[in-house]
Amino acid sequence: GSACSSGSLSPSHVLRAMGLPEGRVGSAIRFSLGRDNTLEEIEYTVTRLEEIVARVRAVASPGEEGETETLPFEDVP
């Protein structure tokens, strides 16, 4: 699936074809880069994404039947 179809709420058929679990398919994030993107913008995005993923993983804890608790949106900068 391309980033240009990211407005769609349908899960990526490509990720499904790769055999990823539905939870993973539905939680994918797509990024699109163009010739006008700078290295600084890319590095900033990667750094922020790493920080957010680390925070979410820190608060996620296995619950009943594989459910997880995740960080509320208002706590994510």
Give the residue numbers annotated as catalytic, written as ranges.
4
Cα 24 to Cα 15: distance, rounded to the nearest angstrom: 8
Minimal CA–CA distance to 44: which of 33, 35, 60, 28? Answer: 33
Neighbours of 25 (CB within 10 A): 19
Q: CA end-to-end span of the chain, whole Å?
A: 27
